[in-house]
Each structure stands twice: as C-alpha cells, then as structure tokens.
Structure 1
Amino acid sequence: MRSSAEPAPDGLLVVDKPQDWTSHDVVARSRRLCATRKVGHAGTLDPMATGVLVLGVGRATRLLTHLVGADKDYTATVRLGQGTLTDDAEGEVTMAPGAGSLDRAAVEAAVVGLTGAVEQVPSAVSAIKVDGRRSYHRVRSGEDVQLPARPVTVSRFVVVEARAGTAPDGTAVLDVDVEVTVSSGTYVRALARDLGAALGSAGHLTALRRTRVGGLTLADAHPLADLEARQGEPMPVLPLAEAARATFPSRSLDADEARALGYGQRIPSLSPGRTGPVAAFAPDGTLVALLDEARPTARSLVTFAPASS
C-alpha cells in the first residue's frame, strides 16, 4: 500500500462497527487509515450488527487468534412470532405462527433453559464450512443444510423489556430486548431462533450490538466515521503491551525468564492447569510473549521480544 502517512504503530484498534458494513469492509477501510495492509479482526460481526470490532495492527495481528476465544457481551432485540431463513431481519420470513399469547413472564421462564452450558445448532446461514464450502453459500444455492450442535456457554441471558406489536404482514409479535454474555462461537441469532422454538412459536433477531470482547468495551471503541474524519492523523491504536494487558491475564517476568523466552526456551508455570493465554512482560514493561501455562513448564504461543544479551 502506497501512502505518504506513517504506518500506525503495532497494537489494537477498537472500532464501533456501523450497521450494514461487513467486518471485511471495516478492515479494508482501516488498512487505508492505518497506512498498512497488516490489519485483521478478531471475530466477525454480521452486517446487520453494530458495536465492538477489535482490529489488530502490525504485530498485534498475532494476538487475534487468541483474542477470538474471549467471551463477549451483546444487547439484542428478538422478535418472537416470526422465523426467518437467516434467523435475523436480513432473511425472508419462513414461518409466522405469531406470539399473541406470549408475555414477558413466559419469555423469562424460557430463557432459563437457554442459559448455562448448552448444545447449540449454529444458524445454517453462517460461515461454518461444510465439505469445504461456507454453509451460507450452500443455503443460498438452495441446499438444505443441517449443522451439528456444538457446546457453548451462555453465562448471562437477561430480559430487559418486552413489547407487543404487529409485524408488517399482520402477525402478532413480541419484541424482546435482551442482554447476553456468551462464549466464543455462540450465535446470538441462534439463541433468538431457539427462544422462539422453546415458546412454541418462532423467533429472529431484529437488532444486535456487541458491547464487549474480553476486556475491551464500547468505551474503548471509536466510531468509524470519527476515524475517517481523522484520516492523515495518528490513529488511536492501543499500544501492543497495553493491548495485551487489557485482553489477557498478565505475568511479570524477571530478566532471566524474559531472556529464556526470547531464546525459545520454557520457564516454570506460575499456575499449572490454567486454560487460556497469559501475557508475559519483561521488567521494563515490554510484552515478551503469550504463554501457555497449562503444564508445569510454560511455553510461548507467540513471542514478541527477541532475546537480549
């Protein structure tokens, strides 16, 4: 990429994704704004969705694989009484049993069964590959795709408000605003679908906003329009070390440990059995590596700082 601007520093750029943009669209625009092609994202948001989209810039793209696994918060609106092909408002209505007999109390009782460790069947119109092709490509070409259920965790599923109404086709619906906290790989639109089914009706998403990814929230996010207004100026990139502290448990190293990791050696784990990466920092605060401490000796998943003499 040719640009007279200085490339943005290594780190995370947290964007408040606008509606009707794909995550890839945001990455492409951010490459221009950051004057580098080395930009990627941690976890796709559907075009309909808005909110926290975490971008890695420069060497911070190496954090993204591990950041994708972080839990996430969303606010959403579920329309009960209608189901769609895509389980959200972008798909055509495929069933409309109505929700005239439903109320908030019934919904609150039903969400209990969808909270905790559950087996979820992903939306058929998803990016999951089936025999090498994206599921959504197969569905949109007319195939009947049946994806297997997989374990996910819905640690929080709260009903905020419920409003009775009528859809444009005359169907009685109940629009339910919810807040959820979910593990990586959970489809919120599948939760909407399953909530409708649990109530003997149907359901789909009409709005979705991601409010948190790991330790990063909307308070850290910048509207894309604001970033574009700053084109040619330094982008508000969270520096690499600060980004790692915000998104992973951290560990302070002594000089010998930092040097050993820089040479690709293992060091003793502080918490054997721990799941998930640990960010390890040199005495001067430099990010040295992401560690796997599952075993008695910790190994580097990604090394950022070379060994110093």
Structure 2
Amino acid sequence: MADSVILLVDKPGGMTSHDVVARARRALGTRKIGHAGTLDPMATGLLVLGVEGSTRLLTYLVGLDKTYEATIRLGVSTDSDDADGVETARADAAARAAVTPERIAAGVAALTGPISQVPSTVSAIKVGGRRAYDLAREGVAVELKARSVTVSRFEVLRIAERDGAIDLDVVVDCTSGTYIRALARDLGAALGVGGHLTALRRTHVGPFTVAGAASPDKLGAQPGLDPAVVAAAVLGRLDVTADEARDLRHGKRLTGAAARIRESTAAAVDPSGVLVGIVERRGDDLKSAMNMPQPPREAP
C-alpha cells in the first residue's frame, strides 16, 4: 500500500490534471489519489496531490490562495481566452497604438481587489451536470454566472510588442476560483483591443511552492509531505494527548478545549506526530470535523 502523503507535482504543459493523477496512480500502485485544484492543459506548475488517507485533506487545500505567473497578449481574442483556442478578433494598429502603459496600469488596477468575474466559457465549471468546455465544444451556448473573487496582486513585470500584439508578463496573487484567462479577456476588453492568455504557471498554492515539486516522471521517487505537517501549515496545530486522540477518533468531544485553538479549525496531532484529524469549535468544545484513517497497529 502506498504511504498516506501529500505530493507536490510540477505539471508540464500539454498534460491534463487527470493525466498527472493517472500517472501517479501507476507509479505508486494505488487508485486512491486526488488533486486539490485543476490546471488547464496549457498551464504548467504546482499541482497538489493527496495519496491514500491524505485525500481526506484535499477539501481543506482546494480553497487556498494561489499565485500565478502569466503572459497576456493584448490585441488578439480567442474563443477560449487562451492560446489553445481559435482566434476570433484582432485589433488594428491604431487601436493597439492607443494602449499606453498608463492605460494598461489603469486597467490592471480596475481588476485588482475584490472583483466580480465571469469565468471563461471553456472552463471546467458544471452547467446542468456537464462541464462548460464540453458544451462549448458541441456548439452549445453557455452562459456562466459571475462570481466574486479577490485579486490581491496583479503586477505587470514587462511590456513588449510582438507579432502585431502587446505581450504583458504578469504575476497574480488571487483567491481560489479566479480565472487568469478571464483577467486577460477582461483587461483586453477594457482597453478596447481584446486579449487572451499565452502562458500560465502556478507557482504557489497556499504555503506550498513549485520549487519543492517533482516532475510527473519522478513521482515514484518523491517522498511526499507528512499530512500532519501539511495540515498544521494550513490550519494551525493542536497537540493532543493519547487519550484525547482516542476520544476524537471515537467521535467524542474535547470538553472546554475550544480556547486551545486560534481559528475555527485546527489540525489535531497526537504525541507520536500522527495527524488525528481536523477539529472544529462547537461552543466551548472541540469536535472532529474529519478523522484520518487510523494507522495500522504494529505487531507485538
């Protein structure tokens, strides 16, 4: 049986997130693997996988903030808002010439902070039980609802003219669920020239960085992260006694223990460093919100 760990993978371009999961299943000899947030096939960078019992942690990781490095091409629109799509419009030279650094800065500022964003039509969002991108490929008109997201950082690192368009190298810090393709589309629309994404790399998911990630070809040799370390880094750590660990695993509350954690939830870790599960406040008490599978007992 594979170890219960969290794996950090550096996804290459051209692979789907499902492709990476399938390769991890083969490399580790288990089907019990999931991921904490999809990356488009065109995109590269950090994909967080949960293996065996650590798949239970993924629900607490999927909502973490993300950081992306991207290239936005202004002056060209596509039907998918990225380079994998078909070109639908191209701005003329006069329109492109009117796109000054000052106007770009103003457009970026308008897309920074709490914003309302309509996801790209070619996205994994489900509409009537089906993925939007499947419907779009069939020619079905898809109208997605706007969603509230927060872009805490939208910084332009470089502006360059290339192939009759304007390329912006940017870095974006944002909440989970933000579509960088939609930022490219909306920035281009605001500037009157259209825009799409030509490159995207996810560099951070919460406290985890792509610098410590393995390529899909090396998954079998990747030791993985201890779920206790991961959960504590994301939620904060609550050290519990052996008796408290047993009670939590049996569904009992820790009476009067709510003051021992800073936030509404925390990772409960037993004296041997094993993650018991995630606890949450219930009045003055703490109760298990999720228990990890109990480690196998060692033979006497």
TM-score (normalised: structure 2):
0.90
Q: Against the structure 1 CA distance between its residues 287 and 273, is the aligned structure 2 distance closer, same or farther, given a 3 Å change threshold?
A: closer
**Is 1:266 the counterpart of 2:249 in the alignment?**
no
Contact 2:69 2:172 in 1 (8 A): yes
Q: How many residues align?
A: 290
**Residue pair 1:261, 1:300 contacting (<8 A) in 2 also:** yes
Deviation readout 1:142-201 (Å, 9 max, x if unpaired)? 1221111011111111111110122xxxxx311001101111111111111111112222
Deviation at 1:131, TM superposition (A): 1.3
With over 3 angstroms needed to count, the CA separation of the structure-2 counterparts of 1:116 and 1:235, relative to structure 1, is same
1:149 equivalent in alignment to 2:141:
no
What does residue range 270-309 of structure 1 map to in structure 2 within 5 Å? 270=259, 274=263, 277-293=265-281, 295-304=283-292, 306=294
Q: Could you give the per-residue CA deviations for residues 63-98 of structure 1, whole angstroms, max 9, x where no partner exists?
A: 112210111110000001111111100000112125
SS at match of 1:283: coil
For the 8 Å contact 2:56–2:292, the answer to whether it is kept is: no
Supply the distance in 1 between the matched residues of 2:166 and 2:117 (Cα, whole angstroms): 23
> Are residues 187 and 258 of structure 1, via their aligned partners in 2, closer, same or farther at CA, if it must alter by over 3 Å?
same
Aligned amino acid, residue 119 of structure 1: S
Secondary structure in structure 2 of the residue aligned to 1:245: helix
Q: Counterpart in 1 of 2:23?
A: 29
Structure (1/2) with the larger helix percentage: 2
Q: Report the equivalent of 2:231.
A: 244
Q: Matches of 1:217 and 1:58 in 2, distance apart?
A: 22
Alpha-carbon offset, residue 246 of structure 1: 3.5
Q: Summarize deviations over 1:243-296 as a string: whole Å, max 9, x none.
A: 323333222223443232122122332378945x42111233221111233754
Q: Is the 8 A contact 2:10 2:46 kept in 1?
A: yes
Partner of 1:175: 167
Contact 1:262 1:305 in 2 (8 A): no
Question: Structure 1 120/272 Cα, relative in aligned 2: closer, same or farther at 3 Å?
Answer: farther
Q: Please give the alpha-carbon distance, in whole angstroms, between the structure 2 residues aligned to 1:203 and 1:295.
A: 50
Q: 2:185 aligns with which of 184, 189, 193?
A: 193
1:85 aligns with 2:79: yes
Show the 5 A alignment for 1:1-309.
7-98=1-92, 99-166=96-163, 172-227=164-219, 231=220, 234-267=221-254, 268-270=257-259, 274=263, 277-293=265-281, 295-304=283-292, 306=294
* 1:11–1:243 Cα contact (<8 Å) kept: no
Distance (Å, rounded) in 1 between the aligned partners of 2:65 and 2:11: 18
Give the counterpart letter for 2:18 in structure 1: H
- Rounded to whole Å, the distance in 2 between the matches of 1:103 and 1:223 is 39
Structure 1 match to 2:298: none
Q: Which amino acid in the other structure matches residue 108 of structure 2?
A: V
Q: Unmatched 5+ residue regions in structure 1?
A: 1-6, 167-171
How far residue 305 of structure 1 moved from its aligned partner, in angstroms, is 5.9
